Amino acid sequence: MRAETRKEERGLEMKEVEVLVEGGKATPGPPLGPALGPLGVNVKAVVEEINRLTKDYEGMQVPVKVKVTAEGKFEISVGTPPTSVLLKKELGVEKVTPENAPNLSISLESVVKVARMKKRQMLASSLKKAVKEVLGTCKSMGIRVDGKDPREVQREIDDGKYDDMLREEES
């Protein structure tokens, strides 16, 4: 956990607390409660918002930043675990090794789920491009997608095979 005080551009003093919390399971106890209580913020409201924002990362440690102004207002920013960690969680394995990778295959639906989780932090401009980026991680890890080489699935995406699946989420 890290806490610091900074001056924002608008002249407001801002306290920042950084913690690692288990996705969807933050509590008002340590480390959050003791760090946030003295800052005059509604700890219960902060914890509820953190849990809402991190529910998709259940079972994983998630980096969270809470910025608190002198007026007791707060902003929460949630990081995401690395793409490889999210893929391992979807596969239900702790490690991907050269020995077990050839036997691992993830569904395209799971790849799309990971892409949605990571999209805000990616440079991808659409869900389709984010999915292709996650497929690249699958390739580098040696994981197959629906039993196929991830590069084959990327080509199928380029050919429009999954447009219906990917269109509804594009912004």
pLDDT at 62: 86
Asked if residue 143 lies in contact with residue 104, where contact means CB atoms within 8 angstroms, the answer is yes
Tens digits of pLDDT across the chain (171 residues): 555 544 444 445 788 999 888 889 999 998 888 988 888 899 999 999 999 999 988 888 888 999 998 788 899 998 888 899 899 999 999 899 989 998 999 999 999 999 998 888 888 889 999 999 999 999 999 999 999 999 999 999 999 999 988 875 444
pTM of the full predicted structure? 0.67
Backbone angles phi, psi at 120, to 5 degrees: -60, -25
Rounded to whole angstroms, the Cα distance separating 154 from 33 reads 45
Rounded to whole angstroms, the Cα distance separating 132 from 102 reads 20
From its phi and psi, is residue 147 left (phi > 0), alpha (psi between -120 and 50) or beta? left
For residue 22, what are the β-bridge partners?
A: 61
pLDDT at 9: 44
Per the listing, tokens 């340590």 go with 30
For residue 58, what are the β-bridge partners?
A: 23
